[in-house]
Amino acid sequence: MGEDGRLTAVVALAQGMAAAHTPRESWRAAALGACRALGGSFAALSVWERELGRLRVLVNVGDRARGEEEFPGDETYPVHQFPEITEFLHERWVAGGEPNAWVETAEGPAAGQPGYCHQRVAALRRRGRGCCVVAPIVLNGRAWGELYVARSAGVPVFDRGDADFATVLASVVAAGLAQSERLEEARRLAFTDALTGLANRRAVDVRLEEAIERHRDQGVVVSLVVCDLNGLKNVNDTRGHAVGDRLLERFGSVLSLCGAMLPGALAARLGGDEFCLLVVGSPADDVVKAADELCRRAAELELGEGVACGVASTEDPIGPVRSARRLFRLADAAQYRAKAVRADRPVVAGREGEDDPVVRLADAEPSGEDAVERRRFRGRLP
């Protein structure tokens, strides 16, 4: 490939990563772009997980061998099997060098000999590949992982020029990963409550709309637990907002713990002293059990005064739930009733007979002081 072709390949790789919407798409675009640019038959992107002492494969593309998945769940290798990712890079940097790529073949090391080859050579032979080029990826001044591109046996092996080009490609991948990580962090912050680390109102809205659509199409059970932490204003007024924030954080941890009782539950802070659990697929009785545990644990918090907790589930006799708004209304009304009667256990919509007061309250047109109080939750009620 000439200089113009290589420049085109670099641009295509960068554009592919820039167009990605998720980390997985970004990893795949990086590996595919490098594979095409280097005329490889296979490519992989791996990250160095320092705390676990291993290389974890993020994506495999091209002609995958048996057992190689595109997005493997558990393909990892102890770093001591590939010490060049740590020792070699460190030695090169200490000596003032750069983290350049190197080539290895099924017959042994080739261009850019790092001095560690036995595991990679064995892997090449085992998977019917003739050579590979390995390019360290450096992100924010630290070794992040590696870009690996291989060619099938029987075709020309990579040379020093290919290794130098792989080094350039790795730097482009690093820039793309940095951008992807910034975007992912921005997305994460957009859906996370800064104080508690739980999901925020926006995340609940998105997930609940999706859940209700599944309920309409497939009959999936959707449940919502709405909580109002009692006593926060008193703590803020008498002990200060820093102490109040600690109470919110502690309750957030309790909510997360109880949510873990329900597979896939989303624990969220909706704002102020209001929290919720969104549960999809679990039986309503399991959700009520978790809510009961939440009430018990909240009552044991040192500074608080317990929690008012309401539950609404599509599995209970609450009438048709065709919109996220109605399930919110029902859970809100249940929480409002729990607060009004000072209940120390969750109030569940639809479980008090035909003329259930919670369902009646949720479906009634609000007026006067009741309307003001109920709107306080999220402005959801008409």
Residue 228 predicted with pLDDT over 80? yes
Among the four given CATH numbers 3.30.70.270, 3.60.130.10, 3.10.20.30, 3.40.50.720, the one describing domain 201-378: 3.30.70.270
pLDDT of residue 369: 46
User: Alpha-carbon distance 87 to 375, whole Å?
Assistant: 61
Residues 186-212: tens digit of each pLDDT: 777 888 898 988 999 999 999 999 999
Fold annotation for 3-191: Beta-Lactamase (3.30.450)
User: Alpha-carbon distance 178 to 168, whole Å?
Assistant: 16
Residues 289-298: tens digit of each pLDDT: 999 999 999 9
Specify the domain boundaries for CATH 3.30.70.270 within the chain: 201-378
- Count Cβ atoms below 10 Å from residue 146 Cβ, excluding itself: 24
Lowest mean pLDDT among 32-41, 88-97, 220-229: 88-97
pLDDT of residue 380: 38
Residues 332-374: tens digit of each pLDDT: 999 999 999 999 999 999 998 888 899 998 888 555 444 434 4
Sign of CA dihedral 296, 300, 305, 307: negative
**Mean pLDDT value across residues 27-42:** 96
pLDDT cut 90: percent of the chain above it: 62
Supply the DSSP string of 101-132, one letter for each residue.
Answer: -EEEETTEE-TT--S--HHHHHHHHHTTEEEE
Residue 242 CB-density burial (10 A; 0-12 exposed, 13-18 middle, 19+ buried): exposed
* Cross-strand partners of 135: 147
User: Alpha-carbon distance 168 to 171, whole Å?
Assistant: 5
Nearest Cα neighbor of 43 from 176, 179, 146 is 146
pLDDT of residue 121: 85
pLDDT of residue 358: 93
Specify the domain boundaries for CATH 3.30.450.40 within the chain: 3-191
pLDDT of residue 120: 81
> Could you identify the residue written with the tokens 């607060």?
339
Termini Cα distance of the chain: 65
pTM (two decimals): 0.57
Q: For residue 335, what are the CA distances in angstroms to 332, 362, 379?
A: 5, 11, 15
Tokens matching residue 317 = 């006799």
Residues 93-139: tens digit of each pLDDT: 444 555 688 898 988 755 445 444 567 888 899 999 999 999 989 88
pLDDT of residue 48: 86
Residue type, 49: E
pLDDT of residue 89: 52
Per DSSP, the three-state class of 72 is: coil
Per DSSP, the three-state class of 59 is: strand
**Mean pLDDT value across residues 19-28:** 90
Sheet hosting strand 142-152, strand order edge to edge: 76-78, 54-62, 42-49, 142-152, 129-139, 102-105, 108-109
Kindly compute the dihedral angle of the four CA atoms of residues 18, 24, 30, 32, in this order, to the nearest 10 degrees: -120
How confident is residue 142, by pLDDT bands cut at 50, 70 and 90?
A: confident
User: Alpha-carbon distance 367 to 204, whole Å?
Assistant: 27
Backbone angles phi, psi at 296, to 5 degrees: -65, -45
Residue type, 85: I
User: Alpha-carbon distance 267 to 252, whole Å?
Assistant: 8
